[in-house]
Amino acid sequence: MRNKLNKLYLYSGYLSAFFMVLIAMTIVAQILGRFVNITVDSTETAGFSLAALTFFGLSYTFHSGEHIRVTLFTRLLGKKS
C-alpha cells in the first residue's frame, strides 16, 4: 500500500509540473498573440491550471517533507551587526 501511495505522490508532482508548464505556455501564447493582433483568452485555463498546480503540488510537497521556509528570506537579508 505504501508503494502505491508513493507512486501517487510522485505522479501528482508530475501533474503539478505539467500544469506549471501549461501556465507558462498560455502566457507565451498571449504574448505572441499580441504581436499578430490575436486575442488569446486564457482566464479559465490559467485559473484551473493554477488550482490544479496548487493542490497536486501540495500532496507531493507534504510527502517530501518540504515547505516554504521563512528563513529563506531572512538568510537573503544577511546578518545585522
Tens-place pLDDT, residues 18-73: 999 999 999 999 999 999 999 888 889 989 999 999 898 888 877 776 665 545 66
pLDDT value for 60: 81
Rounded to two decimals, the pTM is 0.73
Rounded to 5°, angle at Cα 16 from 76 and 75: 10
Largest CA distance in the chain: 55
pLDDT value for 18: 95
Cell reading at 10? 510522485
Number of domains in the chain: 1
15: domain range? 2-77
Dist. CA 55–CA 12, nearest whole Å: 9
